[in-house]
């Protein structure tokens, strides 16, 4: 049987570059190499593209970008090629036709629709959400509005687009009540997020968030805890893994906590009733469908002490290491990581 050629795209111009390397390494090492031939496309922090053919550990420890293991390469926008242009060392250009591509790129310039748009233009099946869904889910403000229109409860919030305009919003912030959260509208892995305890901290928090995006969302702090749902599939063919729960000792689930778990813990399954877990799964499906998601995504929500479910966000390319939340939720539901990768690839090439 001829192996399907699957591009795995990693790295990228994003603050989440390092996380991408770890996720990509995990995906590549869990692909069934008897069925699939991974075409490894690395993007440096500076935005240079290469086809990588070295030892996989070099991706994990970020020594992959070197002249011995790399040649310049790029996705061709031409549907005639439907794949990769490789600029060989003898000044010749070769091509590799792809059966599908999996961007393992977290945050901006990878998870926000930019990469997905390039792949759609090239006619290459995407393992993951399409351009529109990726862009909408990255935009916290628009994602909240769409989820609310679909009948899902969301936290109260407002947006700011100019640091000089921040002082005019003190009244709105006071109306939300402190503490509250200030976040970049379009950023991932909790970059640029601050928990604001008083009005005196608001302006600095807004300036900090604007370092990551040109718009800021100010949200009320929801009493309760965060619950995640791993969703896999497209249309009516959607499955949801076991629900997980983030237990926090203090503060919030910031970037450091996500990757160290120093003062927090993740419980799979969540310590909630089966009835409430099923309700959250159904809510996750509503959000997933309303935002046009396909292939896979992690839907995050809050559960209040009163049992109310509020939408938080959707990660269209969540962490994909073998120890990340998304694969662990599906593993708890009986789907090991290798089968997750196989299922995602087959769904993409058959769509």
pLDDT tens across 63-82, in order?
999 999 999 999 999 999 99
Domain with CATH 3.40.50.20 in the chain: 4-126
Q: How far is CA 279 from the centre of its chain?
A: 23
Specify the pLDDT at position 164. Answer: 61
Helix ranges, the chain (H): 17-30, 57-60, 114-122, 131-138, 140-149, 170-176, 202-209, 255-260, 274-290, 325-332, 337-350
The class that CATH gives domain 136-154+223-350 is alpha beta
254 pLDDT exceeds 90? no
Pairwise CA distance, residues 90 & 339, whole Å: 40
DSSP 6-72: EEEEEE-SSTTHHHHHHHHHHHHHHS-TTTEEEEEEEE-TT--EEEE-S-THHHHTT---STTTEEE
Q: What is the mean pLDDT of residues 8-13?
A: 96
Class of domain 157-220: alpha beta
List every span in the chain annotated with CATH 3.30.470.20: 136-154+223-350
pLDDT at position 351: 75
Q: Which of 28-42, 112-126, 190-204, 242-256 has the lowest mean pLDDT?
A: 242-256
Is pLDDT of 261 > 80? no
Question: The domain at 4-126 falls in which architecture?
Answer: 3-Layer(aba) Sandwich (3.40)
pLDDT (average), residues 42-68:
97
| Pairwise CA distance, residues 293 & 136, whole Å | 10
User: Using 50, 70 and 90 to split pLDDT, how confident is the model at 264?
Assistant: low
pLDDT, mean of residues 26-39:
97
- Give residue-wise pLDDT tens across range 199-236: 999 989 999 999 989 999 999 999 999 999 999 999 88
Question: What mean pLDDT value characterizes the chain?
Answer: 92
Phi/psi for 222 (5° steps) reads: -90, 130
Residue-wise pLDDT tens digits, 318-327: 999 878 999 9
pLDDT score recorded for residue 223:
92
Average pLDDT over residues 270-296: 97
Pinpoint the residues of the chain covered by CATH 3.30.1490.20.
157-220
- Asked which of 96-110, 166-180, 242-256 is least confident by mean pLDDT, the reply is 242-256
- Sheet containing strand 4-11, edge to edge, reads 93-97, 83-87, 70-75, 49-52, 36-43, 4-11, 100-103
């Amino acid at each position: 049987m001829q192996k399907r050629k699957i591009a795995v795209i990693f790295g990228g111009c994003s603050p989440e570059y390092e996380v991408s390397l770890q996720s990509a390494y995990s995906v590549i090492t869990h692909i069934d190499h008897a069925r699939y031939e991974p075409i490894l496309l690395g993007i440096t922090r500076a935005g240079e593209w290469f086809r990588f053919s070295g030892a996989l550990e070099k991706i994990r420890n970020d020594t992959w970008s070197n002249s011995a293991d790399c040649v310049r390469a790029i996705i061709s926008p031409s549907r005639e090629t439907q794949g990769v242009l490789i600029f060989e060392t003898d000044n010749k250009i070769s091509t590799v036709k792809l059966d599908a591509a999996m961007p393992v790129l977290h945050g901006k310039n990878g998870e926000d629709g930019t990469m997905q748009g390039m792949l759609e233009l090239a006619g290459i099946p995407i393992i993951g959400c399409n351009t529109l869904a990726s862009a909408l889910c990255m935009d916290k403000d628009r994602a909240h509005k769409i989820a609310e229109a679909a009948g899902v409860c969301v936290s109260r919030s407002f947006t700011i687009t100019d640091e000089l305009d921040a002082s005019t919003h003190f009244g709105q912030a006071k109306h939300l009540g402190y503490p509250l959260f200030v976040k970049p509208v379009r950023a991932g892995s909790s970059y640029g997020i601050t928990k604001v305890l008083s009005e005196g901290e608001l302006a600095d928090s807004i300036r900090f968030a604007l370092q990551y995006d040109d718009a800021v969302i100010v949200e009320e702090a929801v009493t309760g805890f965060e619950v995640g749902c791993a969703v896999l599939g497209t249309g009516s063919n959607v499955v949801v893994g076991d629900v997980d729960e983030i237990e926090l000792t203090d503060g919030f689930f910031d970037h450091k906590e996500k990757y160290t778990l120093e003062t927090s813990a993740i419980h799979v399954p969540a310590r909630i009733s089966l009835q409430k877990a099923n309700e959250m799964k159904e809510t996750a499906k509503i959000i997933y469908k309303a935002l046009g998601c396909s292939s896979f995504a992690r839907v995050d929500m809050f559960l209040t002490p009163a049992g109310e479910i509020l939408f938080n966000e959707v990660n269209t390319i969540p962490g994909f290491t073998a120890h990340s939340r998304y694969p662990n939720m599906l593993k708890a539901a009986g789907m090991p990581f290798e089968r997750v990768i196989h299922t995602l690839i087959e769904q993409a090439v058959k769509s």
